[in-house]
Structure 1
Amino acid sequence: MDLTEISNRIRSAEASAGRADGSVTLVAVSKKQPDERVAQVLEDGHRVFGENRVQEAQAKWPGFHDRFGRSALHLIGPLQSNKARDAMELFDVIQVLDRPKLARTIARLAQDLGQCPSLFIQVNTGAEDQKAGIAPGETDSFVRECRSLDLPVDGLMCIPPVYEEPALHFALLAKLAERNGLPNLSMGMSADFEAAIALGATHVRIGSALFGDRPTG
């Protein structure tokens, strides 16, 4: 699929769900994609991208910004505390706030830097041992902790288990966000973004459907 087709499917899913046109943001997941593929999407006019690794983003996005103008960058992969400063200086949104130590680090750095990106809390909706994120039952207290640190928490993010029905996880995330007065939901990827939109997603993270499969090796 190309950018136009995916954008049309997003707009159609918005309409089917009774959502306002343009209420869902496409985060184009450019991690590990060849520069020429990313450049093509930039040439087509898209300006919101997701990256998994701080170092990869540092290496490629300054050049793209010089060439195409500023894009909004979302960090959607795990963030080590020792990379937090670099992430805060580069990314507009950090979607992977997943533990109290990282929250405290970001709060301290925000004071030093005088600014802070928008933050989404990653929720481990499937309670998977190998996956990062706050447990659903601890989300309310973690939101309160982040707010006590004056952190700009604007939403929640999840990555459902591969072999479970994603709609169940999307519905849980939406319930947690509503309960905590959080306006944004980052959920839904290439295979299930329309279901996510039906359940309230404001941001969908689409990589392979837009760019093609990432090169191996």
Structure 2
Amino acid sequence: MNSTLESDEFQGGALLESYREILAVISDAKTRAPHERPVQLVCVSKRQPLKRIVALQEAVGRDDVLVLGENYVQEYRDKRGDLLPHRAHLIGPLQSNKAKEAVSLFDCIESVHSEKLAQNLEKEARRIEKTLPIFLQVNISDDEKKSGFSPEEFQKVAEHWNENFTALQLRGVMTITAFYDDPEGARGDFRRLYELASSTFQAFPESFGGSAPEVSMGMSADYRVAVEEGATVVRVGSALFGTRE
């Protein structure tokens, strides 16, 4: 057998093993979650070699369409055409000058961190007649180094969502917590975000189209804790793909 092929098969097998291990952790953590909803794994593929991403896609199989998480519009644009069928979430900071392209490229934008950005996305989505699911990013840790709405700002924007936005579909909340040495340190933040999403939905269900909002929180180091506290979306990169290049 060709040595390159052997290497590709080994890489695919190792990635598939990591993928299944992560799903098993999620499944176990769900038994302690405050809801019975499914949990979506977003495979964070930013700055990962194209070969590695495709190897995982091939190992998982075409019947299981992966959701890929990307941070950079240009990086995703450059590799998009070489990937197998997938769904793509933008999970990194988005500058206004990249908003137009992001609307056309991504299936969901999780990192809408300001009302101004939402307005720019709305304008472009209307122009190309696209309904775009988005999450509002909440700075639940009140960390000055992190972007996002305060909990109070989030509730205010959600209350008047349907008055101001028609092309953007408010589907949930996302957070990047402050850094904690111990994953347990983020538990309180995760719990607060889940409670915020739940209470806001109870107050303004029509803003979310009548469907309970998604709660995107937790990354490689703490996704188990996030699921236990109510995450319906987790974003896992290095624990799945290994070190970024």
Deviation at 1:210, TM superposition (A): 0.2
Distance 2:160 2:191 in 1: 24
Distance 2:145 2:80 in 1: 29
Aligned to 2:223: 193
Deviation at 1:130, TM superposition (A): 2.3
Distance 1:142 1:197 in 2: 26
Aligned to 2:129: 114
Q: How does 1:54-203 map to 2 (within 5 A)?
A: 54-64=73-83, 68=84, 70-148=85-163, 149-150=165-166, 151-163=168-180, 165-181=185-201, 182-203=212-233
In the alignment, structure 1 residue 12 sits paired with structure 2 residue 31: no
Normalised by the length of structure 1, the TM-score is 0.91
In the alignment, structure 1 residue 44 sits paired with structure 2 residue 59: yes
Give the AA of the match of 2:72: R
Give the AA of the match of 2:186: P
Residues 34 and 230, structure 2, Cα contact 8 Å, conserved in 1: no
Deviation at 1:19, TM superposition (A): 5.1
Deviation at 1:180, TM superposition (A): 1.8
Residues 147 and 153, structure 1, Cα contact 8 Å, conserved in 2: no
Distance 1:12 1:112 in 2: 44
Aligned to 1:208: 238
Structure having the higher Rg: 2
Aligned to 1:23: 38
Distance 1:160 1:147 in 2: 28
Distance 1:111 1:36 in 2: 35
Distance 1:16 1:173 in 2: 17
Deviation at 1:106, TM superposition (A): 1.4
| Residue identity (%) | 39
Q: Note the alpha carbon deviations across 1:26-61, whole angstroms, 9 max, x for none.
A: 000000011121112111225111000000000011
Aligned to 2:9: none
Q: CA RMSD in A?
A: 1.7
Distance 1:47 1:38 in 2: 10
Deviation at 1:25, TM superposition (A): 0.5
* Larger deviation, residues 47-56 vs 109-118: 109-118
Residues 48 and 71, structure 1, Cα contact 8 Å, conserved in 2: yes
Distance 1:162 1:10 in 2: 21
Give the AA of the match of 1:174: Y
Normalised by the length of structure 2, the TM-score is 0.81
Give the AA of the match of 2:101: D
Distance 1:7 1:147 in 2: 35
Gaps of 5+ in 1: none
